[in-house]
């Protein structure tokens, strides 16, 4: 979809459909005052008759009115004027996009961000208009034999009143498009079924990204390579599967070689049966989403390839299946990780930490400025936080704060939870250095503490996206989180450098 910037009052603007905010408060406010007379009259009448969509998120489509340059008008309820902040803007923008999907309109102009919004600058207003609209138009139908008709909207103008803001709005739109492309990739990969989206498939996608973007380079390690490196923890997870495991390395080089990179690791379990500690059947299909960390890291790299910020980033993606079989790892088995630490596998369903621990050890060779991992790691995190916030665990307050702020700015929120020695108690083993699973209570922190044993002294953060990476129920599907958070964090680092 195209998103041109549009300046100038809606009285003179020609468009097939203007998206206009309507507020609960009496009278016409904001952009409403700049509409043509016939439109103003109609809206005032609707308001009087209490038929105007004043409630946040409601919409009302006015067909052609004579005497206006605007053909259709989509009124969007925005609640109270004084309360119109970033959050309400998000709701309104999503409702507008959903309403536009149901029309035949090919081109429209969005006036929801025409005037300044409390707590949201022009850059983010434009960027979020793009990201939210784009995400609302996302559909995954590559495996439907009969495709639904394509949505008609091709062009959505982003209206701003202040001409001085054209440049920042353009920048916001450009970044928004790049981020949306990354989110789309993350969603597509996670939605793809596990018989198609295998570790090999993920490696091919990484390879294709490197082909497409000049600054991306890909190298994938095979099981043989991993064996040579001593990745006993990672390989123990893959051992029961027929599909070969991969460790995908995708490097983004946007700064000089001497600049230390940020390393992001994404859990890529393309299907998690639990292994010998088999999961119960209900919702097991959703364990195809257990590679959402990998998907979001690949999505982030695609965005970097497109936006070309001046930073260095290395993506490390351990990808494999967790399957039961005669060759599968047993509860009680002890494995030696690449770090030399031994792990007693109490529960084969706690596999994410096993593939990540060797990846974190491997990451040390890049001397990461920041080391970040993203994983659908624990059901306990879902119990703790629900589906709104990603769990954030970190050994570094500065890094944690930057990630929390990035999440807040992008409507991709995270919430910090504890990680530390007190949780290590739970992982005591009588036979190995420690165990891979412990108590149910505080399970998300215990998992994070397990990972912390492999990060050495690097500033590190772990994002547990078990509750945020996908939706269940009738809207079942990947969310693309936390691509927006990660990219926002990385773009801010790049600004700091230049």
Footprint on residues 197-256 left by ligand BES (CB under 6 A): none
Q: Say whether 235 sits in a helix, a strand or coil.
A: helix
Q: Say whether 65 sits in a helix, a strand or coil.
A: coil
Minimal CA–CA distance to 436: which of 447, 420, 444, 425? 447
- Structural contact between residues 92 and 78, judged by C-beta atoms closer than 8 angstroms: yes
The catalytic site residues sit at 279, 353
CB of 266 to ligand BES, least distance (A): 13
Regarding 292 and contact with ligand BES (CB under 6 A), the answer is no
Options 175, 272, 321, 412; binder of Mn ion; rule CB under 5 A: 272
Regarding 378 and contact with ligand BES (CB under 6 A), the answer is yes
CB of 351 to Zn ion, least distance (A): 6
Options 34, 175, 321, 349; binder of Mn ion; rule CB under 5 A: 349
Residue 316 and residue 197: Cα distance in Å, rounded? 17
Structure tokens at 463: 């994002």
Regarding 351 and contact with ligand BES (CB under 6 A), the answer is yes
198 binds, among ligand BES, Zn ion, Mn ion, none (CB under 5 to 8 A by kind): none
- The stretch among 155-163, 266-274, 335-343, 415-423 that binds Mn ion (CB under 5 A) is 266-274
CB of 230 to ligand BES, least distance (A): 23
- Structural contact between residues 319 and 235, judged by C-beta atoms closer than 8 angstroms: no
Q: Which secondary structure element, helix H or strand E, spans residue 270, and what is its range?
A: strand 268-272
Residue 185 and residue 402: Cα distance in Å, rounded? 25
CB of 471 to ligand BES, least distance (A): 12
DSSP 22-41: E-SSSS--GGGGGS-HHHHH
- The stretch among 27-35, 90-98, 374-382, 399-407 that binds ligand BES (CB under 6 A) is 374-382
> How would you class 286 by CB atoms within 10 Å of its CB: exposed for 0-12, middle for 13-18, buried for 19 or more?
middle
Regarding 451 and contact with ligand BES (CB under 6 A), the answer is no
Residue 498 and residue 481: Cα distance in Å, rounded? 27
Q: Say whether 18 sits in a helix, a strand or coil.
A: strand
Regarding 272 and contact with ligand BES (CB under 6 A), the answer is yes
Regarding 380 and contact with ligand BES (CB under 6 A), the answer is yes
412 binds, among Mn ion, ligand BES, Zn ion, none (CB under 5 to 8 A by kind): none
Minimal CA–CA distance to 113: which of 85, 71, 150, 136? 85
Q: What track of x and - describes contact with Zn ion for positions 388 through 427 (by CB under 5 A)? A: ----------------------------------------
CB of 133 to ligand BES, least distance (A): 29
CB of 232 to ligand BES, least distance (A): 18
Regarding 347 and contact with ligand BES (CB under 6 A), the answer is yes
- Structural contact between residues 2 and 154, judged by C-beta atoms closer than 8 angstroms: yes
Regarding 342 and contact with ligand BES (CB under 6 A), the answer is no
CB of 43 to ligand BES, least distance (A): 46
- The stretch among 101-109, 116-124, 270-278, 292-300 that binds Mn ion (CB under 5 A) is 270-278
Options 240, 274, 352, 443; binder of Zn ion; rule CB under 5 A: 352
464 binds, among Zn ion, Mn ion, ligand BES, none (CB under 5 to 8 A by kind): none
380 binds, among ligand BES, Mn ion, Zn ion, none (CB under 5 to 8 A by kind): ligand BES
Options 349, 358, 373, 412; binder of ligand BES; rule CB under 6 A: 349
Regarding 352 and contact with ligand BES (CB under 6 A), the answer is yes
Residue 249 and residue 55: Cα distance in Å, rounded? 48
CB of 267 to Zn ion, least distance (A): 7
- The residue whose two tokens read 């939210």 is 132
Question: Parallel, antiparallel, or unpaired for β 434-435 and 342-344?
Answer: parallel
Whichever of 347 and 396 has its CB closer to Mn ion, that residue is 347
- Structural contact between residues 133 and 157, judged by C-beta atoms closer than 8 angstroms: no
CB of 294 to Zn ion, least distance (A): 12
- Structural contact between residues 280 and 379, judged by C-beta atoms closer than 8 angstroms: no
Q: Which secondary structure element, helix H or strand E, spans residue 172, and what is its range?
A: helix 166-191
Residue 3 and residue 90: Cα distance in Å, rounded? 17
> How would you class 166 by CB atoms within 10 Å of its CB: exposed for 0-12, middle for 13-18, buried for 19 or more?
middle
Regarding 290 and contact with Zn ion (CB under 5 A), the answer is yes
347 binds, among Zn ion, Mn ion, ligand BES, none (CB under 5 to 8 A by kind): ligand BES
Between helix 122-136 and helix 86-101 the angle, nearest 10°, is 40
- Structural contact between residues 268 and 245, judged by C-beta atoms closer than 8 angstroms: no
Residue 151 and residue 242: Cα distance in Å, rounded? 40
Residue 180 and residue 445: Cα distance in Å, rounded? 31
Regarding 379 and contact with ligand BES (CB under 6 A), the answer is yes
Structure tokens at 418: 């504890």
443 binds, among Mn ion, ligand BES, Zn ion, none (CB under 5 to 8 A by kind): ligand BES
Q: Which residues bind Zn ion (CB under 5 A)?
A: 269, 272, 290, 352
Q: Which residues bind Mn ion (CB under 5 A)?
A: 272, 349, 351
Q: Which residues bind ligand BES (CB under 6 A)?
A: 272, 290, 347, 349-352, 376-380, 382, 437, 443, 466
């Amino acid at each position: 979809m195209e998103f041109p910037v549009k300046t100038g009052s809606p009285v003179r603007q020609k468009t097939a459909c203007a998206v206009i905010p309507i507020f609960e408060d009496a009278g016409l406010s904001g952009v409403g005052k700049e509409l043509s007379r016939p439109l103003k009259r109609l809206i005032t009448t609707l308001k009087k008759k209490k038929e105007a969509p004043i409630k946040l998120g409601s919409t009302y489509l006015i067909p052609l009115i004579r005497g206006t340059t605007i053909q259709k008008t989509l009124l969007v309820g925005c609640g109270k004027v004084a309360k119109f902040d970033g959050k309400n803007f998000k709701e309104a923008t999503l409702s507008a996009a959903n309403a536009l999907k149901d029309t035949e309109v090919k081109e429209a102009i969005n006036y929801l961000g025409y005037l300044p919004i409390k707590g949201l600058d022009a850059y983010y207003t434009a960027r979020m208009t793009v990201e939210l609209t784009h995400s609302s138009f996302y559909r995954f139908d590559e495996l439907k034999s009969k495709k639904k008709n394509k949505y008609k909207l091709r062009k959505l103008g982003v209206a701003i009143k202040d001409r001085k803001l054209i440049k920042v709005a353009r920048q916001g739109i450009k970044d928004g498009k790049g981020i949306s492309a990354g989110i789309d990739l993350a969603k597509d990969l996670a939605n793809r079924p596990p018989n198609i989206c295998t570790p090999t498939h993920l490696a091919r996608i990484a390879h294709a990204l490197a082909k497409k973007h000049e600054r991306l380079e890909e190298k994938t390690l095979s099981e043989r390579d991993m064996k040579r490196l001593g990745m006993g923890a990672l390989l123990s997870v893959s051992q029961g599967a027929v599909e070969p495991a991969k460790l995908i390395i995708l490097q983004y080089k946007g700064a000089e070689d001497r600049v230390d990179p940020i390393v992001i690791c994404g859990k890529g379990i393309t299907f998690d049966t639990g292994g010998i500690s088999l999961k119960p059947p209900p919702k097991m299909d959703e364990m195809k989403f257990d590679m959402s960390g990998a998907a979001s890291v690949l999505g982030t790299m695609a965005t970097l390839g497109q936006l070309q910020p001046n930073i260095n980033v290395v993506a490390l993606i351990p990808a494999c299946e967790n399957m039961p079989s005669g060759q599968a790892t047993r509860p009680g088995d002890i494995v030696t990780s690449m770090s030399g630490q031994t792990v007693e596998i109490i529960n084969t369903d706690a596999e994410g930490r096993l593939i990540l621990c060797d990846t974190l050890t491997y990451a040390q060779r890049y001397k990461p400025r920041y080391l970040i991992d993203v994983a659908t790691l624990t059901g306990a995190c879902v119990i703790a936080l629900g589906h709104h916030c990603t769990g954030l665990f970190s050994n570094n307050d500065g890094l944690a704060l930057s990630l929390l702020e990035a999440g807040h700015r992008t409507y991709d929120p995270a919430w910090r939870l504890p990680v530390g020695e007190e949780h290590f108690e739970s992982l005591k083993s009588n036979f190995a250095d420690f165990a891979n699973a412990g108590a149910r209570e505080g399970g998300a922190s215990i998992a994070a503490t397990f990972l912390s044993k492999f990060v050495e002294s690097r500033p590190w953060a772990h994002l547990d996206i078990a509750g945020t990476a996908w939706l269940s129920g009738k809207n079942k599907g990947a969310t693309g989180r936390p691509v927006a958070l990660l990219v926002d964090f990385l773009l801010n680092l790049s600004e700091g450098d230049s």
